Every structure is written in C-alpha cells, then in structure tokens.
A = this chain, B = another copy of it.
Amino acid sequence: MSANTSKKLEELGKGMVKDIDEGKGPEFESVLRTKSNTIYDEGIGCLRLGEKNETRKFISVAQARTFMQTVAIAAKTKQFLSQNLHTSIRGLFYQLKVSLGENMDEDLFSEQSESNALIEDLEVALKLKREDLNLTTDRKGFVAGPMVIKDRFGGEETTIDCAKQGRSGWSIPSDVDNGMEIEKVKADYVLVVEKDALWQRLNEDQFWKKENCLVITPKGQSTRGTRRLLRKLADQKLPIYCLMDCDAWGWYIYWTIKTGSMNLAYLGRDFSVPEAKFIGVTMSDIEEYEFLQKLTIKAKEVDIKRAEEMLGYPWINRHPEWVKELKMVLKTKKKIEQDALQGQRLTFVGEYIKSKIENKKWLP
C-alpha cells in the first residue's frame, strides 16, 4: 500500500511540474465535497460523493494559498512514508509550521481545522485514505471474541488473539489496513454494542464464547478505524448486528455505521456497512418487556428533532419498520437506554440479544 501511495503522490507532483514546464499554472482535480454533490447510492446502500469535480488552481487569488498548503502536505506525508513513520494531524501541523513557517509572511497553518480540510482534499483527489498517508486518527473501540490479528508495527510482528484479552479486550487501532490483517476469524456474527459499559458486561458473561461471535463496542460514535474494521468483517460475510440506545444519538451511531454520514460521505463504501441490522433497543421493546416500561426517559428536543429529520431521509423512510419506530418516538415522546436492559437482572442483556437474533427481530 505504502509504495502505491508514494507513487500517487509522486504523480501528483509530476503533473504539476509538467504544467509549469508547459507554461501553464499548475492545477489538480478533486471531487466536490458539498451537500449538493452528496448522494445516496442505492446500489451499494451508502452515502457517497457524486460526479461533480472541481479544479484547484495555483494561479488564482482565492485558491493560491490552499493550493500551496495542499502541496506542502503532500510533500510532508510523502516524507513520512519514506521514513516509515506515523504521526497525528497535530504532529503534521507542527512539522509544517517548522519547515514552512519562517519563510512566510503569515503562519500557513494557523488553525488545525484548516489542515484537516486540506487532508480531505488529498484523500479525495488521490482516491486514498489519510491512514495510507501515515496519518493516525483518534482511536476508540474494543473487540472480544474468536479473531486473530496479525500486526506489523514499529519493525515487529505481533499476533493478537482477541479471545485472550481478558477484561480489556483488543483496542481497535487508528489504521486496520496498512501492516495489519485479520489472520483468522471464526465467528458466526458480529455484535456491536454502543457503550463500553455494556460491552464489559457481555465480556464478563463470556457472551462471545457462548455465542461464538465477536462483541465490539465503538464506545459511542464509531471512529474511522472501527468503521473500517466492521466493513472488513462484513466483507467476510459475517452478519453485523447493532444494539444501540433508543434515542437520537443511538440512531445516529447506527446509521453512520450503515450508510456513513453526510459530512463524511467522501469516505464512501470503504467505511460503511449497508448490511448492518438494528436489533434494539426499539420502541416496541417497551411494549414487549414489561419491566422496561418504568425505565423509559422523557425524550429531549434533540431526540424529537432528530427523529423528524430521519423521517425526511429517503434512505431511511424507504423502510416502513423505521418509519413506524420513529413515529412512535414522536407520539410517545419517550426514549430508552440500552443500560436499562440490566434493570431486572444483570445477565438479561445477553438473553435479550439472543432472542432478537434467533427470532430475526431486527430493523434494516
């Protein structure tokens, strides 16, 4: 991957040099990252960018500055690749400050958010991931279960058995592609639970062992690493079942896993799992499980607003099950947390999940 990425960066540079040699102002093509160029791809089942391109020009008062910044990032990450070293966006930011700072009238990267947008430019233009540029991103999320990982990092190769990580589990890294592979996975399915606390509960019950599954928590919203890992597991034909809170945040976490999100649509299929299924917690559970009735919480304005918004998305309102679910939220103005499943007895969570999967009681 690394050699391929270096080549792409080199070609970008060579193209610009060619432009200059031919007396033209250097430029490069990228795909427009706007809401109007974000589409839901029915065939794949995820959000992605459309076909509209934009050309970034150096000879342009509006674009000269960002153009130069993008070139600086490309040069710097190419250097990281040849050094075989990784850093964060913050590390890149300081490197650029040192190497470019002193010859400039103003600080080139005054704000980190600026470099972030420029990295997205590069990802889209070169059709690669920032992880391929040796840039690390925030990591979060854990795995327990029958999966063996081969990890080549810092000059060493390590084998990690996710079934032998005790109470801690295996921490999902920032990059699950470069220098890393799933050596073996012998699970029947993948269970994704929103919260680490519930993951710990299921890990203590050895749910993954009894059910021969992988239990994964994104610890809230999924990181890029967690989304990529889930994509790779789905590619191995493992069903992906998700257990989230029944509220605005839980639904958002689910739909980001399934279709991606509007503002990260440029990541496309590589970071989404259209095959994912939502096993709970649902509004209908409140009717089905009596003890849950006294454990509901009043929905907040953000939950109501989010439910209304979701009813407007064509990729959601095409599913009558979700329309029914969301309308129940709007009607009852209630929500419920996944933690409530422990209310009756701590081990009930596992029983609930088993019953949901066995009876195919899930939402698309």
**A158 and B165 contact, Cβ closer than 8 Å, known pairs A294-B101, A294-B102:** yes
- Cα distance, A315 to B153, chains bound together (Å): 42
- Cα distance, A346 to B84, chains bound together (Å): 11
**When the two chains form the complex, which single residue of B90, B206, B295, B337 contacts A154, counting CB atoms closer than 8 Å?**
B206
Is A2 interfacial (CB-CB < 8 Å)?
no
Instruction: Annotate A193-212 by CB proximity to B: 1 below 8 A, 0 otherwise.
Output: 00011001101111000000
**When the two chains form the complex, which single residue of B154, B205, B346 contacts A205, counting CB atoms closer than 8 Å?**
B154
Q: Other than A94-B340, A153-B167, A153-B203, give 5 A-B pairs with Cβ distance below 8 A.
A: A95-B342, A97-B294, A154-B206, A158-B165, A168-B172
A: which residues have CB within 8 A of B?
A: 80, 83, 85-88, 90-91, 93-95, 97-98, 101-102, 136, 138-139, 142, 149, 151, 153-156, 158, 160, 164-175, 180, 196-197, 200-201, 203-206, 291, 294-295, 337, 339-340, 342-344, 346-347
Count identical subunits in the complex.
2
- Cα distance, A160 to B161, chains bound together (Å): 11
Contacts of A342 in B (CB 8 A): 87, 91, 94-95
By Cβ-Cβ distance, the 6 closest A-B pairs, closest first, are A151-B166, A88-B197, A158-B166, A94-B343, A98-B343, A153-B167
- Cα distance, A90 to B93, chains bound together (Å): 39
- Cα distance, A65 to B358, chains bound together (Å): 44
CB distance from A68 to the nearest CB of B (A): 19
Q: Which residue of B lies closest to A340 (CB)?
A: B94
Contacts of A90 in B (CB 8 A): 197, 337, 339
Q: Which residue of B lies closest to A83 (CB)?
A: B346
- Cα distance, A86 to B347, chains bound together (Å): 10
Of A80, A160, A175, A200, most buried by chain B (CB within 10 Å of CB) is A200
Interface contact A174-B200, CB-CB below 8 Å: yes
Contacts of A158 in B (CB 8 A): 164-166
- Cα distance, A291 to B97, chains bound together (Å): 10
Contacts of A294 in B (CB 8 A): 97-98, 101-102
Interface contact B86-A201, CB-CB below 8 Å: yes
CB distance from A359 to the nearest CB of B (A): 24
Contacts of A138 in B (CB 8 A): 196
Interface contact B168-A87, CB-CB below 8 Å: no
- Cα distance, A102 to B206, chains bound together (Å): 32
Of A142, A154, A168, A340, most buried by chain B (CB within 10 Å of CB) is A168
Q: Which residue of B lies closest to A142 (CB)?
A: B171
- Cα distance, A205 to B91, chains bound together (Å): 15
CB distance from A193 to the nearest CB of B (A): 13
Contacts of A102 in B (CB 8 A): 294
Interface contact A344-B98, CB-CB below 8 Å: yes
Contacts of A86 in B (CB 8 A): 200-201, 204
Contacts of A165 in B (CB 8 A): 158, 160
- Cα distance, A201 to B180, chains bound together (Å): 17
Interface contact B339-A136, CB-CB below 8 Å: no
CB distance from A145 to the nearest CB of B (A): 13
Q: Which residue of B lies closest to A341 (CB)?
A: B94
Task: Give 27 pairs: A residue, B residue, CB < 8 Å, sorted on A.
Answer: A83-B346, A85-B204, A86-B200, A86-B204, A87-B201, A87-B342, A87-B346, A88-B339, A90-B197, A91-B339, A91-B342, A94-B340, A94-B343, A98-B294, A98-B343, A98-B344, A102-B294, A149-B166, A151-B166, A151-B168, A154-B203, A154-B204, A154-B205, A156-B206, A167-B173, A168-B171, A168-B172
